[in-house]
Structure 1
Amino acid sequence: MTTIGIIYPDHAAEDEYPTAASRLGVRLPVVHVYGTDLHAVPELLDLGSPEKLAEGVSRLLTAVAADSVGPVRPGDAVDAVDAVMWACTSGSFVYGHEGVRQQANQLAEVAGVPAASTSQSFVAAVTALGVKRVAVAASYPEEVAVLFTDFLAASGIEVVARGSAGIDTAAEVGSLDGARVTDLALQNDHPAAEALLIPDTAMHTLDVLTAIEDRLGKPVLTANQVTIWHGLRLAGSSVVSDRLGVLFSRV
């Protein structure tokens, strides 16, 4: 069974991964790294540091080994994972366009398998859909939301509108219910946008994703969704589903 290892910051919406795994028939083991629960640049740089991500790989290796049958050598545990994803958007794009690439390369080197971040997953998803212009509905404070749109622009994606909810912590984002997530999406769409991006992996979006797309009439890309999608494609898998948005049903 295809297995994508998920390195997830702290605790907020990590329950979306077992939900998606059951819908797709894949394995998405989640391990955690920890930092200060703030959407602020210094804290985010620390969260996405090489040391933290190497720690995440170590946790992942241990978790996969514990879930295996029989004795497993350290190298064998990584072999049981087809790709590794850093499931954090803000903990990657704060490094800038080139820094995001370097971060993923370092993660892949430590893990010994293909690796990427959620920031890279958004770019890959937008490209796969053939989209050129997007709107962004961010939960972050404005200072952090700007860095995300700067990253998209540097990746060749035009941002026609950006909304910021100004939420300081991932824990608060994780507590938003489906109605508030839907409101955030609807309020920050733009007629010129070909897709709407919701970039925080701390936000629960999978259960309202298709309903938002139906109301907007366009693809909606959310952080945990694109992370899983890109991880599967790094692993050479193209699972199709009608329960995880247009992205999983089209490409």
Structure 2
Amino acid sequence: MPRSHDTFAALERPYPFTTQPRQARARIGLVQLASDYTLENDWRRLATEGVEIYSTRMAYNSLMTPDSLRATAGNIADAADLVAPGLELDVMAFGCTSASMLIGNEAVAERLTRSRPGLPATNPWLASLCALRQLGIGRLAVLTPYATEVNRPLYQGLREAGFEVVAFGAFGLSLDTDIPAIHTEAIAAATADLLAGSRAEGVFFSCTNLRALPLLDSLEHRFGLPMVSSNQALFWHALQLAGQQADIAGCGRLLAASPAEGVA
């Protein structure tokens, strides 16, 4: 054994090194629900050169009820601690629209940044409200995958935020894991029905697990109205909070070119 060790000691060569300077223009930390199959793939499509995403998942029972969604608050801080420990991030994001709406923006932000105090934080509910205002949408058509018990507080939250909801549709699902299976054709058909005869100035697709992102550009061209989805808005707002401008083609006018100023 000593002889073998001596042989290795003679082979091993120590080298000096220099450290690589930061290349990323934005580093985003992301906490997702275990049951979300869509957000990660949507963000992979949106992440342009220089945008780094560091994500983790947190336990969730998939039940889309107000009580289950509120209960996710207890897992956010521990999950956030697992996101790239020791690495300098520019913003933290939480990936659930309905849970954020029910828990509250300040409570979500506090849990996301408990181990990184002072870091900007966002969530899909907050980001979507900011995006709708950015696009000048006052009268909304809303499409969700949720059941009524989640839709009602969402509707009330939008009204309290100052929006007029003129049409509201839903697929009525109670399990988060069922949501990604909703066909994009069904989403497009429901959108057309909601907009028929309505006075909506835009459409909000609520839920990070709903596969709305690939449709946004074509729906905007078809109806001549801005379309906002949870994943699109969350990515946009995270970039804004990181001081970066979005310039992404084919994913709706929100991301086409947005100033990195004046966003709450």
Partner of 2:135: 129
Larger radius of gyration: 2
Do residues 104 (structure 1) and 112 (structure 2) align? no
1:145-194 Cα distance to aligned partner (Å, 9 max, x none)? 11111111111122111112101112111122322222232232353111
Give distance in 1, aligned partners of 2:256 and 2:129.
18
Offset, 1:250: 4.5
Pairing 1:86-235 to 2, within 5 Å after superposition: 86-95=94-103, 99-112=104-117, 113-189=119-195, 191-235=198-242
Give aligned-pair identity as a percent: 24
TM-score (norm 2): 0.81
1:62-108 Cα distance to aligned partner (Å, 9 max, x none)? xxxxxxxxxxxx4x32x1x210111110111123xxx3333224423
TM-score (norm 1): 0.85
Give distance in 1, aligned partners of 2:189 and 2:30.
28
Partner of 1:42: 67
Partner of 2:43: 17
Aligned length: 230
What secondary structure sits across from 1:37 in the alignment?
coil
Give distance in 1, aligned partners of 2:193 and 2:37.
23
Do residues 33 (structure 1) and 55 (structure 2) align? no
What secondary structure sits across from 2:113 in the alignment?
helix
**2:92 counterpart (84, 89, 96):** 84
Offset, 1:39: 1.0
Give distance in 1, aligned partners of 2:115 and 2:165.
33
What secondary structure sits across from 1:60 in the alignment?
coil
What secondary structure sits across from 1:196 in the alignment?
strand
Partner of 1:65: none
Runs of 4+ in 1 over 6 A off after TM superposition: none
Give distance in 2, aligned partners of 1:101 and 1:149.
20
1:182-238 Cα distance to aligned partner (Å, 9 max, x none)? 223223235311110001101122222211111221011001100100011011111
Between 1:232-241 and 1:219-228, the stretch displaced more is: 232-241
Unpaired runs of 5+ in structure 1? 62-73
**Contact 2:58–2:79 (8 Å) recurs in 1:** yes
Q: 1:209 to 1:94 in 2, by over 3 A?
A: same
Q: 1:209 to 1:246 in 2, by over 3 A?
A: same
Give distance in 1, aligned partners of 2:58 and 2:111.
16
Partner of 2:16: none
Give distance in 2, aligned partners of 1:175 and 1:128.
30
Offset, 1:142: 1.3
Whichever structure has more helix as a proportion of its residues is 1
Partner of 2:77: 54
**Contact 2:219–2:227 (8 Å) recurs in 1:** yes
Give distance in 1, aligned partners of 2:175 and 2:190.
16
Unpaired runs of 5+ in structure 2? 1-23, 259-264
Partner of 1:7: 31
